[in-house]
Amino acid sequence: MTDILFRLISCSAALAALVLIITAVKKLLGRKLTAAAGYYLWTALFAAAAASCFPRPALPLSPLTGAEIPAARSAASLPDAGAASIQDFAVELKSAFPPALVLACFLLWLCGAAFMLLRILLGILESRRLLRSARPAADASLRETTLDCAVLLGIKRPFPVFYSDRTCGPVTSGLLRTFILLPDRPFQDIKYILLHEMIHCKRRDTLINFFTQLLLAVNWFNPAIWYAAWQMEKDREISCDDAVLSLLDQRERWQYGRAVINWASDIHRAAVGMGSSSRKLRQRISHIASYKKPTRSARKYSAALLIFTLICALLLAPSSSAASQSYESKISGTVFHEDLSQYFGKFQGSFVLYDAARNQYTIYNEGLARARICPASTFKIYSGLLALETGVITADDSQLAWDGTTSSFQEWNQDQTLNTAMKNSVNWYFQDLDRKAGINHLRKFYSRIGYGNCLLSGADTYWMDGSLKISPIEQVILLTGLCENRWGFRQDSLSAIRRSLRITEKLSGKTGTISENGRAVSGWFIGYVKTASGPQIFALNLRGEDGASGSKAAETAQRILKGRRLL
């Protein structure tokens, strides 16, 4: 539920940013835009909203992706003896926000969305009732005028026109089947009214208005979307006026302006029509009075701005994985998919191994290998590195004093150095390092190295509260960068981190466990193996209802590495 709310808020924030961009474009360049472009700029919001509902296409892992190959050796033939004993301590998964608050916010949003959707449904039902109660326009003069307007607009088949005693002004209604409703009484200026309403029909403005209402229903809490809907309604009428004026001579333009004034106060609340509020009416009349036919250069300029705004919409829109659930970037290197299911037993999981010398990845269960989850204690590698780089600790003096707070893990209840804290996964030690480094430094650092989704809720629990997430593939890419020192860290800092991760002469790594309600549900083991040809970097993640601990992940990873004769 927290992920749903996060995704909703991130998408709504992106839409709000897009509203600001469109508003700025219209304010700064509005005089150079055609009226139609000023209206259609807002439809970029639909593109952004649609883009946020779908994952961005995953790029292929490599142009040289290998076929599925069997495991190097059968799991049954692998002895467990000789595996390094690795101690691991679980951390309880905690939400960054109280569950009651998350539930309350979700229910509040759901109620607001349901109310807005109910309004849309009632509007559709009202439109149908209007159509059922209306009678077709049968008088010959109206049919002739309708045909003339259709010819003028280049419409082969005129839209249906009905009379209704339930509407006080001309309106356009219907989604798939668009029709025009006229009041059931005599009136003047029928040509201009029909031209205006037929342009609404031709442009499918009722359908655009429907999508606007859907956008409002989902983002009812966002004032920027309400503002955009209000502006869009105004721009829709002005652009429709502009389209009519382009078909008329100077004398008829004044007659059209008079028709707008006569009918502006008569609009049905559930449909698109000629009516408007007094403020919008003044803007429309002002536009009609100052109308000038757009030049060819203005149309080209408007088209360029429309394309620019659409690009902004697609760039700003978070994908459906914007809640940072999946890593989809391209991997540079040859990739082989290997069936390692026999090693995992009752657990689900994934394994990623990178041979730096060959630039070759071996991946088991690519779906989970791309899925981002809490890093648990594996984050401590980079917490320690930042502390070394910022001088919070040094390679020669990394000891921190225990504050006397008793833990259920006896190993934690004493002073710690970087080596002992990494070996025993001492939470308070790394939390103290992070507090001293400061949340701003933490965020800049994790963004610099590209750690997963780079989202940190605070300096204490970001690695276990569901905010910071990373995938096994990303773990391997980061460890590779660490081994190669891609970020230019000091050598003494790197040496200190490598010493703290050393398990055996060949094997270095860090475990991590996430526990829910006392049950280990996710276990990490990441690290690297020294070989004659260079490091072999790996990440293994286990998932299960219970028992999926970091220790179990380390045991599983070592069996896989032994099967590949790396240990």
> CA 114, 237, 172, 152 torsion: positive or negative?
negative
Q: Which of 173, 239, 377, 471 is catalytic?
A: 377
Instruction: Name the maximum alpha-carbon separation found in the chain.
Output: 98
The amino acid sitting at 354 is Y
Q: How many CB atoms lie within 10 A of CB 36?
A: 21
Alpha helices in 34-98 (DSSP H): 35-40, 44-52
Q: What is the CA radius of gyration of the chain?
A: 32
DSSP 3-state of 465: coil
Question: How many Å from the N-terminal Cα to the C-terminal Cα in the chain?
Answer: 42
Cα–Cα distance between 554 and 558 in angstroms, integer?
A: 6
Give me the residue label for tokens 């000023």: 38
Q: What is the token pair recorded at 448?
A: 């610099």
Q: Strand runs (DSSP E) across 218-257, as ranges?
A: none
Q: Are strands 536-543 and 348-355 parallel, antiparallel or unpaired?
A: antiparallel
Cα–Cα distance between 561 and 567 in angstroms, integer?
A: 6
Cα–Cα distance between 227 and 403 in angstroms, integer?
A: 53
Asked if 106 and 5 count as a contact pair (C-beta separation under 8 A), the reply is yes
Q: What is the token pair recorded at 65?
A: 């992706």
| Residues linked to residue 359 through DSSP beta bridges, in sequence order | none
Asked if 38 and 26 count as a contact pair (C-beta separation under 8 A), the reply is yes
Q: What is the token pair recorded at 339?
A: 């069936």
Q: How many CB atoms lie within 10 A of CB 553?
A: 31
For 480-507, the DSSP string reads HHHHHTTT---HHHHHHHHHHHBSSSSE
Contacts of 526 (CB under 8 A, 6+ apart): 378, 472, 475, 476, 479, 509, 510, 512, 538, 539, 540
Q: Strand runs (DSSP E) across 249-404, as ranges?
A: 272-273, 334-338, 348-355, 360-364
12 is catalytic: no
**Cα pseudo-dihedral 323, 327, 329, 333, rounded to 10:** 170
Cα–Cα distance between 79 and 305 in angstroms, integer?
A: 66
CA distances from 482 to 140, 410, 493, 526 (A): 82, 31, 11, 13
Cα–Cα distance between 550 and 544 in angstroms, integer?
A: 12
For 516-549, the DSSP string reads ETTEEEEEEEEEEE--TT--EEEEEEEE-SS---
427-437 helix and 439-449 helix, angle to the nearest 10 degrees:
100
Positions annotated as catalytic residues are: 377
